[in-house]
Structure 1
Amino acid sequence: MFPEEEEVPLPLAGSVWRPVMLDGGEAPAPALESDVRLRFQVDGELSGSTGDNRFFGEYRLRGDGMRIGPLSVTRRLGPNRAYEERFLAVLRLTAFYAIRGRSLSLLDEQRRVLAEFRGEPGFPETE
Protein backbone atom coordinates (compact mmCIF):
# COMPACT_ATOMS: atom_id res chain seq x y z
CA MET A 1 0.00 0.00 0.00
CA PHE A 2 1.13 3.51 -0.79
CA PRO A 3 1.01 6.20 1.85
CA GLU A 4 -1.85 8.59 1.33
CA GLU A 5 -0.64 11.45 -0.83
CA GLU A 6 -1.69 14.95 0.09
CA GLU A 7 -3.38 16.83 -2.74
CA VAL A 8 -1.05 19.41 -4.28
CA PRO A 9 -2.43 22.89 -3.51
CA LEU A 10 -3.76 24.96 -6.37
CA PRO A 11 -1.90 28.22 -6.87
CA LEU A 12 -3.72 31.28 -5.56
CA ALA A 13 -3.14 33.17 -8.82
CA GLY A 14 -4.22 31.45 -12.00
CA SER A 15 -7.14 29.59 -10.41
CA VAL A 16 -10.85 30.37 -10.34
CA TRP A 17 -12.29 30.30 -6.81
CA ARG A 18 -16.03 29.79 -6.17
CA PRO A 19 -17.58 30.24 -2.71
CA VAL A 20 -18.88 27.22 -0.79
CA MET A 21 -19.10 28.85 2.66
CA LEU A 22 -19.65 32.48 3.52
CA ASP A 23 -19.84 34.16 6.95
CA GLY A 24 -19.63 30.91 8.91
CA GLY A 25 -22.41 29.12 7.05
CA GLU A 26 -23.00 27.44 3.74
CA ALA A 27 -22.80 30.01 0.96
CA PRO A 28 -26.39 30.84 0.07
CA ALA A 29 -27.07 30.22 -3.57
CA PRO A 30 -27.27 33.47 -5.47
CA ALA A 31 -30.46 33.94 -7.45
CA LEU A 32 -30.81 32.76 -11.02
CA GLU A 33 -27.78 30.46 -10.83
CA SER A 34 -25.43 33.42 -11.08
CA ASP A 35 -21.76 32.75 -11.65
CA VAL A 36 -20.03 33.95 -8.47
CA ARG A 37 -16.25 33.73 -8.65
CA LEU A 38 -12.97 35.23 -7.53
CA ARG A 39 -9.69 35.39 -9.48
CA PHE A 40 -6.26 36.47 -8.30
CA GLN A 41 -3.64 37.44 -10.85
CA VAL A 42 0.12 37.26 -10.32
CA ASP A 43 0.45 41.04 -10.69
CA GLY A 44 -1.59 41.76 -7.54
CA GLU A 45 -4.84 42.40 -9.38
CA LEU A 46 -8.10 40.79 -8.28
CA SER A 47 -11.39 40.42 -10.15
CA GLY A 48 -14.59 38.46 -10.05
CA SER A 49 -18.34 38.39 -10.09
CA THR A 50 -20.85 38.65 -7.25
CA GLY A 51 -23.72 37.38 -9.36
CA ASP A 52 -25.21 40.72 -10.41
CA ASN A 53 -22.05 42.79 -10.59
CA ARG A 54 -18.39 42.49 -11.43
CA PHE A 55 -15.60 43.79 -9.27
CA PHE A 56 -11.89 44.41 -9.55
CA GLY A 57 -9.16 45.78 -7.36
CA GLU A 58 -5.89 44.89 -5.71
CA TYR A 59 -4.63 42.37 -3.21
CA ARG A 60 -1.37 42.24 -1.27
CA LEU A 61 0.32 39.20 0.25
CA ARG A 62 2.85 39.02 3.06
CA GLY A 63 3.53 35.48 4.24
CA ASP A 64 0.07 34.08 4.95
CA GLY A 65 -1.33 37.61 5.33
CA MET A 66 -3.64 39.05 2.69
CA ARG A 67 -5.19 42.48 2.25
CA ILE A 68 -7.85 43.06 -0.38
CA GLY A 69 -8.86 46.46 -1.69
CA PRO A 70 -9.76 48.98 -2.61
CA LEU A 71 -12.40 47.37 -4.81
CA SER A 72 -14.39 48.89 -7.66
CA VAL A 73 -17.81 47.36 -8.28
CA THR A 74 -20.27 47.81 -11.12
CA ARG A 75 -23.70 48.91 -9.89
CA ARG A 76 -26.30 46.92 -11.80
CA LEU A 77 -29.50 46.15 -9.95
CA GLY A 78 -30.39 42.50 -9.54
CA PRO A 79 -31.74 39.81 -7.23
CA ASN A 80 -28.40 39.10 -5.50
CA ARG A 81 -27.96 42.37 -3.59
CA ALA A 82 -27.89 40.87 -0.05
CA TYR A 83 -25.53 38.11 -1.15
CA GLU A 84 -23.30 40.61 -2.93
CA GLU A 85 -23.02 42.81 0.16
CA ARG A 86 -21.99 39.83 2.32
CA PHE A 87 -19.51 38.60 -0.28
CA LEU A 88 -17.80 42.00 -0.66
CA ALA A 89 -17.73 42.53 3.14
CA VAL A 90 -15.87 39.23 3.53
CA LEU A 91 -13.27 40.34 0.99
CA ARG A 92 -12.75 43.65 2.80
CA LEU A 93 -12.35 41.90 6.20
CA THR A 94 -9.79 39.39 4.95
CA ALA A 95 -6.47 39.50 6.82
CA PHE A 96 -5.08 35.97 6.21
CA TYR A 97 -5.52 33.11 3.78
CA ALA A 98 -4.77 29.39 3.58
CA ILE A 99 -4.86 26.93 0.69
CA ARG A 100 -5.24 23.18 1.17
CA GLY A 101 -5.59 21.23 -2.05
CA ARG A 102 -8.45 22.88 -3.94
CA SER A 103 -9.78 24.80 -0.91
CA LEU A 104 -9.05 28.45 -0.20
CA SER A 105 -9.92 29.88 3.23
CA LEU A 106 -10.14 33.62 3.83
CA LEU A 107 -9.60 34.54 7.49
CA ASP A 108 -10.13 37.66 9.61
CA GLU A 109 -7.64 39.34 11.99
CA GLN A 110 -8.32 36.69 14.68
CA ARG A 111 -7.81 33.94 12.06
CA ARG A 112 -11.50 33.00 12.10
CA VAL A 113 -12.74 31.62 8.81
CA LEU A 114 -14.75 34.19 6.89
CA ALA A 115 -15.25 32.19 3.71
CA GLU A 116 -14.27 28.95 1.98
CA PHE A 117 -13.80 28.65 -1.77
CA ARG A 118 -13.36 25.68 -4.08
CA GLY A 119 -10.78 26.18 -6.79
CA GLU A 120 -10.50 25.18 -10.41
CA PRO A 121 -7.25 25.48 -12.36
CA GLY A 122 -7.04 28.09 -15.09
CA PHE A 123 -9.14 31.09 -15.99
CA PRO A 124 -12.49 30.85 -17.73
CA GLU A 125 -12.65 31.93 -21.37
CA THR A 126 -14.88 34.91 -20.62
CA GLU A 127 -15.26 37.23 -17.65
Structure 2
Amino acid sequence: MKTLDLANYGPVIPVIVIDKVEDAVPMAEALLEGGIKVLEVTLRTSCAIEAMDRIIKQLPEAIVGAGTVRTKADASAAKSIGCQFAVSPGYTSEIGKHCLDIGLPLLPGVSTGSEVMMANNDGYYFLKLFPAVAVGGI
Protein backbone atom coordinates (compact mmCIF):
# COMPACT_ATOMS: atom_id res chain seq x y z
CA MET A 1 0.00 0.00 0.00
CA LYS A 2 1.12 3.52 -0.74
CA THR A 3 0.18 6.27 1.69
CA LEU A 4 -1.80 8.00 -1.04
CA ASP A 5 -4.01 4.90 -1.27
CA LEU A 6 -5.45 5.75 2.17
CA ALA A 7 -7.63 8.39 0.51
CA ASN A 8 -9.43 5.63 -1.39
CA TYR A 9 -10.77 4.07 1.80
CA GLY A 10 -12.74 7.03 3.07
CA PRO A 11 -12.61 10.76 3.62
CA VAL A 12 -11.81 10.53 7.33
CA ILE A 13 -9.04 8.91 9.33
CA PRO A 14 -9.94 9.00 13.02
CA VAL A 15 -7.12 9.71 15.44
CA ILE A 16 -7.59 7.25 18.29
CA VAL A 17 -6.03 7.33 21.75
CA ILE A 18 -6.48 4.02 23.58
CA ASP A 19 -5.99 4.13 27.34
CA LYS A 20 -7.07 0.55 28.07
CA VAL A 21 -6.03 -2.30 25.82
CA GLU A 22 -9.36 -4.07 26.39
CA ASP A 23 -11.14 -1.12 24.71
CA ALA A 24 -9.17 -1.46 21.47
CA VAL A 25 -11.10 -4.15 19.61
CA PRO A 26 -14.62 -2.99 20.60
CA MET A 27 -13.76 0.57 19.55
CA ALA A 28 -12.34 -0.61 16.24
CA GLU A 29 -15.39 -2.84 15.65
CA ALA A 30 -17.71 0.12 16.19
CA LEU A 31 -15.75 2.24 13.71
CA LEU A 32 -15.75 -0.56 11.13
CA GLU A 33 -19.51 -1.02 11.55
CA GLY A 34 -19.87 2.71 10.93
CA GLY A 35 -17.99 2.40 7.64
CA ILE A 36 -14.59 3.65 8.80
CA LYS A 37 -11.83 1.22 7.79
CA VAL A 38 -8.68 3.30 8.27
CA LEU A 39 -7.68 3.73 11.91
CA GLU A 40 -4.79 5.81 13.26
CA VAL A 41 -3.92 4.71 16.80
CA THR A 42 -1.55 7.13 18.49
CA LEU A 43 1.53 6.03 20.37
CA ARG A 44 0.61 8.34 23.26
CA THR A 45 -0.19 5.58 25.75
CA SER A 46 1.76 2.66 27.16
CA CYS A 47 -0.70 0.13 25.72
CA ALA A 48 -0.81 1.50 22.15
CA ILE A 49 1.38 -1.17 20.52
CA GLU A 50 -0.49 -4.00 22.23
CA ALA A 51 -3.83 -2.38 21.35
CA MET A 52 -2.89 -2.12 17.66
CA ASP A 53 -1.59 -5.69 17.70
CA ARG A 54 -4.96 -6.92 18.97
CA ILE A 55 -6.90 -4.93 16.38
CA ILE A 56 -4.66 -6.17 13.56
CA LYS A 57 -4.97 -9.81 14.64
CA GLN A 58 -8.70 -9.80 15.40
CA LEU A 59 -9.97 -7.44 12.69
CA PRO A 60 -7.95 -8.05 9.53
CA GLU A 61 -10.35 -5.90 7.48
CA ALA A 62 -9.19 -2.81 9.40
CA ILE A 63 -6.36 -0.72 7.97
CA VAL A 64 -4.37 0.12 11.09
CA GLY A 65 -1.69 2.75 11.31
CA ALA A 66 0.45 4.05 14.14
CA GLY A 67 0.16 7.74 14.93
CA THR A 68 2.59 9.98 16.79
CA VAL A 69 5.54 8.11 15.29
CA ARG A 70 8.54 10.21 16.32
CA THR A 71 11.51 7.84 16.09
CA LYS A 72 12.89 5.07 13.96
CA ALA A 73 12.18 2.70 16.87
CA ASP A 74 8.50 3.77 16.85
CA ALA A 75 8.29 3.06 13.13
CA SER A 76 10.03 -0.30 13.46
CA ALA A 77 7.73 -1.34 16.33
CA ALA A 78 4.67 -0.41 14.26
CA LYS A 79 5.95 -2.34 11.24
CA SER A 80 6.79 -5.39 13.37
CA ILE A 81 3.18 -5.84 14.50
CA GLY A 82 1.74 -5.34 11.02
CA CYS A 83 0.72 -1.69 10.92
CA GLN A 84 -0.03 -0.69 7.35
CA PHE A 85 1.05 2.94 7.69
CA ALA A 86 2.47 5.47 10.13
CA VAL A 87 1.69 9.11 10.87
CA SER A 88 4.29 11.48 12.29
CA PRO A 89 3.65 14.81 14.07
CA GLY A 90 6.48 16.41 12.08
CA TYR A 91 8.91 15.46 9.36
CA THR A 92 12.61 14.66 9.35
CA SER A 93 14.53 12.99 6.56
CA GLU A 94 15.77 10.42 9.08
CA ILE A 95 12.29 9.10 9.86
CA GLY A 96 11.12 9.46 6.27
CA LYS A 97 14.03 7.47 4.87
CA HIS A 98 13.73 4.84 7.62
CA CYS A 99 10.06 4.28 6.80
CA LEU A 100 10.98 3.87 3.13
CA ASP A 101 13.74 1.41 4.07
CA ILE A 102 11.41 -0.79 6.14
CA GLY A 103 8.47 -0.53 3.72
CA LEU A 104 6.15 1.37 6.06
CA PRO A 105 4.08 4.03 4.27
CA LEU A 106 4.37 7.33 6.14
CA LEU A 107 1.87 10.18 6.33
CA PRO A 108 4.09 13.00 7.61
CA GLY A 109 2.67 15.83 9.66
CA VAL A 110 3.76 19.22 8.35
CA SER A 111 2.99 22.82 9.28
CA THR A 112 5.60 24.91 7.48
CA GLY A 113 6.67 25.40 3.93
CA SER A 114 10.11 24.08 4.82
CA GLU A 115 8.64 20.82 6.15
CA VAL A 116 6.56 20.42 2.99
CA MET A 117 9.62 21.01 0.80
CA MET A 118 11.75 18.56 2.80
CA ALA A 119 9.04 15.88 2.67
CA ASN A 120 8.51 16.43 -1.06
CA ASN A 121 12.26 16.24 -1.65
CA ASP A 122 12.27 12.80 0.01
CA GLY A 123 9.32 11.59 -2.09
CA TYR A 124 6.39 12.32 0.24
CA TYR A 125 3.48 14.18 -1.39
CA PHE A 126 0.48 13.03 0.68
CA LEU A 127 0.87 15.07 3.85
CA LYS A 128 -1.08 15.81 7.02
CA LEU A 129 -1.46 19.43 8.14
CA PHE A 130 -0.45 19.22 11.80
CA PRO A 131 -1.18 20.75 14.18
CA ALA A 132 -4.03 22.13 12.10
CA VAL A 133 -5.45 24.56 14.66
CA ALA A 134 -2.05 26.15 15.30
CA VAL A 135 -1.68 27.04 11.62
CA GLY A 136 -5.22 28.29 11.03
CA GLY A 137 -7.04 25.03 10.32
CA ILE A 138 -10.07 23.69 12.14
User: Would you say same fold, with TM above 0.5?
Assistant: no
Higher RCO by CA contacts (8 Å cutoff, separation 6 or greater): 1
TM-score, normalised via structure 2 length: 0.31
More helix by share: 2
Question: Which is strand-richer, 1 or 2?
Answer: 1
